[in-house]
Amino acid sequence: MVVDFYPVKNSYGDMSREWFIQILTFLGGTQSKKYLNRVEMGIQVRERLAYGYEVIDFNTIPQLGNPMSGAC
């Protein structure tokens, strides 16, 4: 199981300081995608670390998305 968090950018190329996308992958297949605000992402990271997950990389390449649309 892999959980990735990426910063979000809009269609104009502006990167959001508030929104991130969480992508959950299991055995190479995407299971879910979800938008999280900065606080929610921090909570998710702390919970995953408490469950024994390891941080192996920092994703800094923003992904195109619109958290206000609700769809990923």
Say what the pTM is: 0.85
- Mean pLDDT calculated for residue range 3-28: 93
Q: What is the pLDDT of residue 25?
A: 94
Residue pair 34/72 in contact by the 8 Å Cβ criterion: yes
Q: Taking the domains of the chain in order of start, what are their residue ranges?
A: 2-62
Whether the predicted pLDDT of 8 surpasses 90: yes
- Best CA proximity match to 22, nearest among 50, 37, 3, 49: 3
Q: What is the pLDDT of residue 72?
A: 67
Q: What is the pLDDT of residue 28?
A: 92
Give the C-alpha separation, 50 to 64, whole Å. Answer: 30
- Mean pLDDT calculated for residue range 9-13: 88
